[in-house]
Structures are given as structure tokens and as C-alpha cells.
Structure 1
Amino acid sequence: MSINLQMPALSPTMEEGTLAKWLVKEGDVVASGDLLAEIETDKATMEFEAVDEGTIAKITIAEGTENVKVGAVIAILAEEGEDVSAVSKGGESVAKKVKPEPVAKKSPEKPVAAAPKVAEPAQDDAPKVADKAPQAATPAAASPAADGDRIKVSPLARRLAEGKGVDLAGMSGSGPGGRIVKADIDAAEGGTAKAAPAPTSSVPTTTVAPQADNDFETPYTTEKLSGMRKTIARRLTEAKQTIPHIYLTVDIQLDKLLNLRGELNKSLEPRGIKLSVNDLLIKALAVSLMQAPKCNVSIEGDELKSFSRADISVAVSIPGGLITPIITGADTKSLSTISTEMKDLAERAKAGKLKMHEYQGGTASISNMGMFGIKNFDAVINPPQAMIMAIGAGQKRPHVIDDSLQIATIMSATGSFDHRAIDGADGAQLMKIFKELVENPLGMLA
């Protein structure tokens, strides 16, 4: 009996996604665990694995298709002994079932000329040209990657291009509608990129688009928001509108921690491990949360959850957004383990290879912008968590030590707390413990 492969829910908040790339084709034999496709979710680009064995009889959703609902049939798998051609023919009816319905339909009250509006979802990035409306209703053939002001490129391909220094301008895409996909970036890196053919569309191809009736308007370009950027916008808006933030800042002397880091790195050098300052701060926050348990909580509805371990979400900047891979049980892990795990998580986060459980959850977050020279900042809480620690740069400053003015390396740290779940006094206790651990770092290693 044939098996319907459905669009998976790759995160708790995922309702739809983009089928970025098929890694198999019709007629391929697959086994459990084989990679079938790359799917872009509201969080990241993830790989979709086969659960059953069989032959890909029919692909019902083409790669590059956006807004594919969770549960929609994307392919049909013929089991061993089945007639693949028969299953493939049967799959045509499945494809019709999952085909999105037109946005607009002709009705007796409206003239036939209104019908071209049906095609607007497929042309949402191009200017509307009234006298070309009949052509817009025709399914789009493969076209150059540059479409008007926008380069058609999948988020995965865009990230790879930025990482490899590949210039997307002038490239032609092999994906649907001329979309640039991962294979095109790989080819470009090897020096086999194809030049984009001359545009045949009547749509203007200027790179800036001032309105025709206003020559004084500042030229601009537009880019469709990615699923990740939409999610970031929604969650940050939700956090600032619904969470009463309270901010507590302390100045911390870093010199002892920096000295300890230097000594530890010398001893770890034979093992190829190099601790970062952030690794030690992750450990310090985790231990602080266990010593101030009233801050290791989250509020969900009318319930307050108190956690028995410290799972630290670490903010990592990736092309197109931000993601927070998690160091689970950071309070009990050694610094070398935290460093090794963090390096691996950060690399896979930037490559879009994190698994769902590696970035979903966490009991508190840490965000370090010190490497950019930022002195201090207020971070936005990542719900349903109730706190986040914002780390500024360590700077040489005049500082009073033993009643005398000396020069010391000082770092400002600001804790953002959800005042619904954490009282100010409890937040202040956490900041006091964090400061003491960083200034006397041997205490968090005992």
C-alpha cells in the first residue's frame, strides 16, 4: 500500500513552510533515515528524513513552493512490490487535493476582466501591469533569478552565498521560476556559475524604484520577509507588549576570570580546546540560577514553572536572523564540555542544521554583544522564559579597589526579568550571585 509523505511540523509553532529543495527524485529508492528534502520553517532550514522504505512514486509539491501547510501531501512512496507507475497515476489526484485554491473566483456579478487577480499570489514581488494581466494568469515558466528589484533566492541559498562570498547578482537559478537554490551556489563556488539570460519580461528591471509621480522620493528596494524574520518580529512584539520588563545592571571586574581563562586554555591546549569568555559566563549564569531558584522559572497562563536544572539558551547571530541553541544542564557540565558543545551548536546553527530540541526550550538566555564593543544594552526576554542576561564589553576603566583608584577590566551585565514571575529583590539576588561568581570564578568550578 502506498504511503503519503506529509509536510512535517518541524517546530511547535510551525503551521506552514517552504519546500526548499528535493534531495530525491521520482523513481529513487529510499530507506529509513535517508534525507528526502530541505524544508524552511519559521525557525530554520531543516532536513526531512524518510521513516519508511520504498520508491518515490510521485512528487506532488515542487521544490521552491512556499506556504505549504503542515500535513499536506508532498510526495507518495510506493512500498516494496507495488507498481510504481500505478501509484504515480494515483498520485495525480492527491496532487489536486493539496493544490492551493485560487485566491479569487469568477462570479456572475464581476466581469471576466477581474480574473487575472487570481495570479497575484504568484506575482507578489512584481509591479502590477494592467495591460499584461492575461499573461499573469498563465503559470510562470523558469525565469531569471533577478525579478524586478528582487533576486529570487531561497533563504538557504542566500545564507550559503553570504558565507561563501558568492555574488547573487547576475546568476540564473535552476529552481522553480528561476529561483536560485543550493545547487546553484555550489556550482558558483566551483566556478561554473551561469550568467543570467537577458530578461524577457516586460516588467521594469531597474534596481531602484522611485514612484513615477514623485521624483523626489528616496529610491528603495524591497525584499519579502523570510519565515524566520516574520517569527522574530511577531515574538519580539509579543514580548514587549505582554511582558513587564524590569532591568537590573551590575558592573563586574573581569581580571580574575581572564587570568583563570588563560591558565585553563594552557592546560587544555593539548586537547585542542580553547575556552571563550562567553563559555565561562554561560557557566556562571547557570550556577547563579541554581543558587537563586526563584529566577529559574517561566510563567505560562496562570501557572509558574520552576526548573530543577539550568538550560541556557545562547543567542547566535545567523544570516537572516537570530537563533538560540541550548546548553542543557549547564550548571553541572565542565567548562571544556560547554565550550565544545557551544562551538558545535554555533557552527550547525549558521549552517541551518540544528535539530528542533537543540533550540526549543531553555530556562533562561544569555546574549553577548561585547565582541562588537557594546558597553551595555537591555535584551528582550525570549518567552516563555522569564529572564535574559545581556553582556557588554570588558573595558579598562578607573575602578576603586581596596579604597584606592586603580585600572581594572570592567564589564557591565544587565538582567531583563519578567516582573510577573520574578520580583525585583529576587532578580537583584541573581545579579549579586552572578557578579560574585564572575569576580571569583573558582567558586563556580567547585
Structure 2
Amino acid sequence: MSIISIMKKLLVPIIGIILLVLAGIGATLYHQHTSYLNTAPIHANQNIKIAVLSDTHVLAEQLHDNGTAWKTFENTSAGMDINYNTQILQATITQLLQTKPAIVIIAGDLTSNGEARNAQYLANQLTRLRKAGIKTYVIPGNHDINNPQARSFKGAKTNLTDQMSPADFQTIFQNDGYTQASTKDAASLSYLVKPAKKLWFLMLDSNIYDHNQALQKSADDGYFKPATGRYITASLKAAKKAGATIIPVLHHSALVHGNLAGHFAVNNYQTFDKVLREYGVHLTISGHMHAQSITTQAGLTDITQGALPVSPHYYGELTYDYHNHQLAYHAKPIDLLTTWTAKYGSSKAKQMLATDHAALYQSGRRFAERMLTTSPATAKLSPQKQATYADAFAQINVATFAGTTSKSKKDLTLLRTIPDAELRQILRVSLSSQDNLNWSSTGMTP
């Protein structure tokens, strides 16, 4: 018998053992060992409280070491506190376990950039809620699926790490909506859940991720495929026939929010909105913008839940009045100070909060400084004047993302005189913000 034949005979069982080990690792990574599923319908004789989260952008500590690559990434985090990302999530879970909503919903962008390990970390945290009898439903965002920018950080290097496919997402979050689904869309990761007889949630996958590998990044835009459009219509029709209140949840907004620069709505929102109004839908829930925002147009309201890692860290409390079929929403702050003080001590908690609050301010200031130094209208201003404008812009930016308006007359007066037209326009849309923290369907036809 030749050496090659002997090697082949030896390699077959060795390779088999290796594959079994790898399969075991994969099963650990993509499997929730205990489901704690609460499939019992919610009783019809009580109001139902739903906690709304979005854009958790989880980046578990196992994927970074606070090195130089991580610090560079931090400067591009768009105001999110990525240093205490998991601590904010854990504090949120702790608060939800205390307030005990019946349902927790996350409207996409669950992970930083579609890392499978970050998804598994979040799935494990959601298990804590299900263990307490809370129903959990999630949908993907544009960052979560087939993202070639899935990465980890070590020292000065940024390394690629496992990204999620659509199948991976559905497996990792199988107990966060997909197992409980009444129906599923064959063309996307959309599904319908019926936690109560007269309250349904249409969890919609509005993301475009088929061409991410060619783009070498995640696509920002959202779109409903024709088949998904038909699934949406069929689901709305079924809800109307059953006399149920149905709330679509999607990552991209259903309406264009005029108080924020940029276009964050799903691309075919006009067609989508027409169908929603046709079937009497009054409310949609979305994310994607990172800022807290509410807009109502022609009887349809879209509540965009602010990104969880962005200060002041709200979650939405949506209450459904079962008897009157009315809805009320209020943005509630996460009490980080209490949770962090109990866990880390008063001094450390205050230090963490200071760092956390500075993240959004510093992001807005860096943006303003770039604009001021590159715009011909402001480049020749003195450094002191540029710094004054940048500080005022950063303060107003913080208020805008919090869903409020700046109360500083000094800042407002200052920025109205800024020579740069683009910064003035950003200021103008920021100041147009109304109440983005509260909403009620009272007065709307059930």
C-alpha cells in the first residue's frame, strides 16, 4: 500500500472529526439552547404595553480591544456611544424586566455591520426577556444581512469576521418572531405575528441586500419586492376581515420625515402608503434615521424610534387600549445612572455617563468643523468664530436627535447668522421639529 493511500485512509476520519467539531461550533454560534417561548395569546380584557427599540447596532466586546483601529472606527460612529454599547443594551434589558411590557419589538439594524457574533450576543440578551414571559419580535435592518463590512478590531488592524446570510438571521433569531409567525413571506424575511386576537404586527423586511458583496458595503436604501408587496396587501386584507388592529414595523420609514435632512423612507413608500391607507392603517413603526421623530400625513403616522446607543437613549412605550382600539406612544429614557451605579459604583457610573453624553455632541461638532473649514463662505472666519459656530451647531444637533428643539436662544441666534447655506438649511429643518416624544391615535377612526 502506497504512502498516499495510507494518508488518504488516515485523513478521512480526521477530516470527519474536524467537520463534526466545526459543526458543533456552528451550532453553538447559531442556536439558542432554550427558547422560553411564550406563545399564549394576550388576554382581551387588558391594555397591552409594547416596548419599541431600534438600531441597537450591537458590537460585543469580544470583537474589539480598544486599540487604534477601534478608536478610528469610533470617530465614524455617527454619534452612537459604541464604547458602552453592550452596557446600554444590558441596562435597557434590566429596565424592561422591571417595567414588564407584554411585547418587545426591535425595528432593524440589530448589529453593527451584520456580524454573526453580535447577533448571537443580542439573541442571548433577548432570551432574558422571553424567560420573563415577554414576547420578542425583530426584523433586520440594512446593516444586518450579507454585509461585507462585518468586522472585528484588534490593535491597529480591522479584520473581517462572519457575516449573516438571510438564513443565518432567521436561525439566530428564530425565537424572536419567526417561530411565532402566523405567516411568512417567501420573498423576504417579513412575517406576521398575532400576539392578541385583535392586535397584529406585520414585521417587514424592507432591506436591499442581494448586491452588497458587489457594492462592498450595505445598501442604505429600502424597497419592497413585488412579491413582498402582495404579501403586505394579503396581510392587511386578512387583518381588516378579522377586525384586528395591524401595525407594520419596518426599518426604513413609511413616510418622509421633513424635520430631518436626508431621505430615509422606503423607496416605494408612495405605493406602500396608499395600500396602508386603503386598509385603514394609522400607525407604522420604523428606525434607520437614528433620531427620534414622529410625522403624520393624511391620517397615517410613522414613529421613527431613535437609535438605542444614541444619547439620551429612549425606548418607546406603545400602549394598546384593547376595548377602544386606540394607541398611545411615549418615548421613555433609559435610566442608565441607576443601573450603572448599582453595577459599577457611583464614581464609575458618572464617568461612563459623561463619556456617553459626549459622543453625540462630539460627532456633531466634528461635522460642523469639517463644513466650516471647507466651505468658501466660512473658511476665512477666525478659528475662534468657527469654534463658536461648531459648538452651537453641536448643541442643536444633540437636541434634534433627542426629538426636541434647542432651548438656547444664544445658539439659535448665532446659527441664524452663519454664512454657510448648507448649515443654515440643516438648522432650519432641525428647528421645525414638533413633539417627537408623544403620540396618540385618539380621534382617529378605529
Provide TM-score, normalisation by structure 1: 0.25
Larger Rg: 1
Higher helix share: 2
Provide TM-score, normalisation by structure 2: 0.25
Q: Which has the higher contact order (CA 8 A, sep 6+)?
A: 2
